[in-house]
Chains A and B, each alone.
Chain A
Amino acid sequence: MITVQLPSFLLVALILFCVGLYGALTKRNAVVVLLSIELMLNAVNINLVAFSKYGLHAAITGQIFTLFTMTVAAAEVAVGLAILIALYRNRETVNVDEMDTMK
């Protein structure tokens, strides 16, 4: 049986994190920005779960931590979308580069 080693997991997580960061910083559409942030947070989950099985001191705590991060990420995106809706009502746009009232 082939086992996947820890570095592969970490690499996937790192790539996912970078893709998310790139998306969050460059995309125009606010919803896509929120999605990209979710990618970054999910990269963390991969890390935590991989570490909880293959880490230096493998322990179940990482998986428990994952449950907390998932819950909080959901709450965060809910708040983000709610604020986006409030913004859309006033501004009629979801494009990030049009949110430039303050200078």
Chain B
Amino acid sequence: MEVKDIFSYNWSYLLPEFTILGFATILSLLDLAMGKRSNRAIIGWLSLLGVIIAGVFVTLNMVNLNEPVSYMADMMRVDDFGNAFKLIFLAGVACTLVLSLAYMKYGEISNQSEYYYLLLTALLGSMVMASSADLITLFVGLELLSLSSFVLVGLRKKSLLANEASFKYVVSGSIATAFTLFGMSYMYGLSGTTNLYLMTERLAEAYNGGYAFLVLLSFAFVLVGISFKISAVPNHLWAPDVYQGAATPVTAFLAVVSKAAGFALVLRLLVTAYIGLISPEGQSVLLENLSLILTTVAALSMIIGNTMALRQTNVKRMMAYSGVAQAGYILVPFATLTNLFFEQTVFYLIAYLLASFGAFAVLMVVFRDQETEELKSFAGLYHRSPIIAIAMTLFVLSFAGIPVSAGFFGKFYLFMSALLQKHYWLAAIMMGTSVISYFYYFGFIRQMYMRSGSTEAALKVPAGVAVIITIMALATLLIGIVPGALFDFVQANFNPNFDFGSMMTPGK
């Protein structure tokens, strides 16, 4: 292999990552230089600026690049797949920052500037995960995200809940890391390389060379490890405690950005590395055997997530279990692997991002106002602030997958893909669990419209939060009315250069 020296690459395509890295570094230095008593909100605004600049660079890359750009033998890789996920991450972190700026006024977090630049490093980690095709960089990105989020969860140092949540998060996170790494070590051992594209070929050789068991073992280990990040079933127990203990903007970040990053990893690591496996009978192993494992994980996540959510009275815990169920839904396209699976995943993630940030913005304001996180804090919201109540209704409908919301079409596409690939029982479980989920999602609606609250005074909503709620509600509604526009946009702009065409099984 020809060795290129590092100066011969055109590094300008990595400007989004460099921007975030630069801002995180400069802001941490700025924090040292600032006086002890000065207002740290400026650091939050600067972080927001950095995120927006990075977003502009990603968009420029999208427009200017037709071919994927690879750095250092795919250690880093700028392609449509990565750009799509990077935009999701950046949008998610921008929303988190706006919510955080309002949250900081409550004065619960004393180390404000740490909070902001840890968010940026977490963002950097997820961006690295989305844009690398090498085990080492994937792992480093994953850990950068994990370590930053461990600390973010625990930043309310005085709160016992936050301490406990972050410790549980560290322990279960580290165990998951160990599982991922153990799987990765077998992947490496069977292929002798950390490059995912080379690994695809070599794993296929190893699979037919008598090491089929080890190949499947590595898949199982990595899947168990990653299920932590996406909070899917074997590794979902941390979610309720961590969601409850973390500050609400951090919970929103974990629910959306961290989960989306997990799905980027599933796509990069599992799908890319294992798609080349062909069994001796000429069947694709990924479509035949491994998709069965993924379907089981998806089905169990939906069932356990939705049924456990029924029992919760704490809203954040309910959102955590609902998030487990949502992870199950987003796993469906990976299990069915139709030609449109990438578009389906991105569409669902966008719908989920809109509904989640909208809902968490409302939760944050309502919790603060009522000083409780129980479901009854929503009582009589419609009579206090009708617009907020209607927006919240829209988000809840989107989660539940009821028409005239983005979530309906997200679920609809997944459902169709399950039917198309004849996964009838998976489709049936999707339907069944969606109906179960109506019970707890409608709990919000019952409280907001039909119960009387302790007060009739209008809810005070900070300007930034109001903006987030409005944008998310309008976007959810708009995508619910014209879903085709977004779907076509995703299809036209992010056609992932994954070379699935040649790797999909003959006849499918």
Interface residues of A (CB under 8 A from B): 13, 17, 20-21, 24, 30, 33-34, 37, 40-41, 43-44, 47-48, 50-51, 55-59, 61-62, 64-65, 68-69, 72, 75-77, 79-80, 82-84, 86-87, 90-91, 96, 99, 101-102
Contact = CB atoms under 8 A, between A and B. Distances in A.
Contact of B178 (A41, A55, A65, A99): A41
Kindly name the residue among A24, A50, A61, A75 whose own CB sees the greatest number of chain B CB atoms within 10 A. Answer: A61
A83 B143 CA distance: 17
A65 B136 contact: yes
Contacts of A87: 160, 163-164, 167
Contact of B175 (A30, A37, A58): A37
B265 to A, nearest CB: 15
A48 B154 contact: no
A41 B184 CA distance: 12
Contact of B160 (A20, A61, A90): A90
Interface of B: 135-136, 139-140, 143, 146-147, 150-151, 154, 157-161, 163-168, 170-171, 174-175, 177-178, 181-182, 184-186, 188-194, 202, 206, 209, 211, 240-241, 244-245
14 contacts: A37-B175, A40-B182, A43-B182, A50-B189, A55-B192, A57-B191, A65-B194, A72-B143, A76-B146, A76-B170, A79-B150, A99-B168, A101-B160, A102-B241
Interface residues of chain A: helix, strand, loop or mixed (majority): helix
Contacts of A30: 167, 171
B193 A59 contact: yes
Contact of B166 (A13, A47, A56, A83): A83
Given A37-B178, A51-B185, A55-B189, A83 B154 contact: yes
Contacts of B160: 87, 90-91, 101
Contacts of B186: 47
B170 A48 contact: no
Contacts of A69: 139, 181
Contact of A90 (B135, B158, B202, B209): B158
A47 B158 CA distance: 41
Q: Which 7 A-B pairs have the closest CB atoms?
A: A57-B192, A51-B189, A40-B178, A47-B185, A87-B163, A44-B181, A37-B174
B194 A61 contact: yes
Nearest to A90: B160
A90 to B, nearest CB: 5
Given A17-B178, A56-B211, A79 B167 contact: no
A67 to B, nearest CB: 10
B170 A79 contact: yes
A20 B157 CA distance: 29
B147 A44 contact: no
Given A37-B174, A40-B178, A59-B193, A51 B154 contact: no
B162 to A, nearest CB: 9
A76 B147 contact: yes
A51 B135 CA distance: 15
Given A47-B189, A83-B150, 5 more contacts: A48-B185, A83-B154, A86-B166, A90-B160, A90-B163
Contact of B192 (A37, A58, A68, A80): A58
Contacts of A44: 178, 181-182, 184-185
B117 to A, nearest CB: 15
B245 A102 contact: yes
Contact of A61 (B147, B192, B241): B192
Contacts of B189: 47-48, 50-51, 55-56, 62
Nearest to A40: B178
A20 B178 contact: yes
A99 to B, nearest CB: 5
Given A75-B143, A90-B158, A56 B191 contact: yes
A48 to B, nearest CB: 5
B135 A65 contact: yes
A56 B206 contact: yes
A64 B136 contact: yes
B202 A57 contact: yes
A17 B170 CA distance: 18
A33 to B, nearest CB: 6
A83 B181 CA distance: 23
A19 to B, nearest CB: 12
B136 A68 contact: yes
Contacts of A17: 178, 182
Nearest to B166: A83
A8 B170 CA distance: 31
Contact of B165 (A50, A61, A102): A102
Nearest to B181: A44
A65 to B, nearest CB: 6
Contacts of B135: 65
A35 B105 CA distance: 39
B308 to A, nearest CB: 13
B410 to A, nearest CB: 30
